[in-house]
Structure 1
């Protein structure tokens, strides 16, 4: 199965990443609804899961695909005569870019903005502003507890074409958390 996935991601990276990411975002939402329901008698919200799948497929996957290809080209401005040190510094620089640029200014705000927008409320701009004011900073702090260590491994050990998949696998838990925070009243 892994061999077939690798063939697909090399042949059709964007489509493969879109399908995979959509499924895994939906899985995270499903787990959030199952293990962290709003109320004791909450019924399963299929539209909520569909919004997660749409977001993962049409928004996050294309953005993530481009981001991981771009961040792979980033090099540390500090260079050494030792190639191993340069590789380590490049990984640290990529993790810093991912955590200090992408997460706070693109990834997390985009999630809350698009998920709130897809709820089709009567006042989406106010709802988006409220959601960002209430959730962005706590989510970012939690992000910094989870992602830097994983991204160090991801950027140093995983081939670039497989990085979005590795992030998506870990993101099942992360998407569960995001879904829980986004839907918490």
Structure 2
């Protein structure tokens, strides 16, 4: 609890610095917001959609999961394959084998997280929520990307 209170104090005193450090620590910027600018959200889906109603949260989640997730996975998996030295043919075969499974697994986790995040979580805590869940998600992705 002491760590959480320290995080809250730092966030209140230095919102931009803490948000940047939080994003850098987690390596993602999904749904990042700025506490000193409560309107609109400044995450991926917040670029186009503003508001805090249930319908707004649903629209943001659908945009995030309909656009960002498929594109991200379609880039991430081949990039890791390339960095691991897979040939173009092996990389393509791995993408065809793993993409749909990774996307379905994404849909088991992220829509619920993002709905709650966009509707229930105050803007200045959204990045921390996403980064916490991303630890689990990134572990799964790393495992998936390194399976032969």
| Both structures adopt the same fold (TM-score exceeding 0.5) | yes
SS in 2 for 1:184: coil
CA–CA distance in structure 1, aligned partners of residues 44 and 98 of structure 2: 28
Determine whether 1:112 maps to 2:86: no
Question: Which structure is higher in helix share?
Answer: 1
CA–CA distance in structure 2, aligned partners of residues 166 and 96 of structure 1: 18
CA–CA distance in structure 1, aligned partners of residues 32 and 79 of structure 2: 18
Structure 1 residue 163 displacement after superposition: 2.4
CA RMSD of aligned residues (A): 3.0
Q: TM-score, normalised by structure 2?
A: 0.72
Asked which structure has the greater CA Rg, the reply is 1
Aligned residues: 135
Gap runs ≥5 in structure 1: 22-55, 77-82
**Which one has more relative contact order, counting CA pairs under 8 Å at least 6 apart?**
1
CA-to-partner distance for each residue in 1:109-166, whole Å, 9 max, x for gaps? 23213322332x163x334323321111111111111111111101112233432321
Contact 2:77 2:145 in 1 (8 A): yes
- Relative to 1, partners in 2 of residues 1:122 and 1:135: Cα closer, same or farther, differing over 3 Å? closer
Gap runs ≥5 in structure 2: 1-5, 34-40
Q: TM-score, normalised by structure 1?
A: 0.60
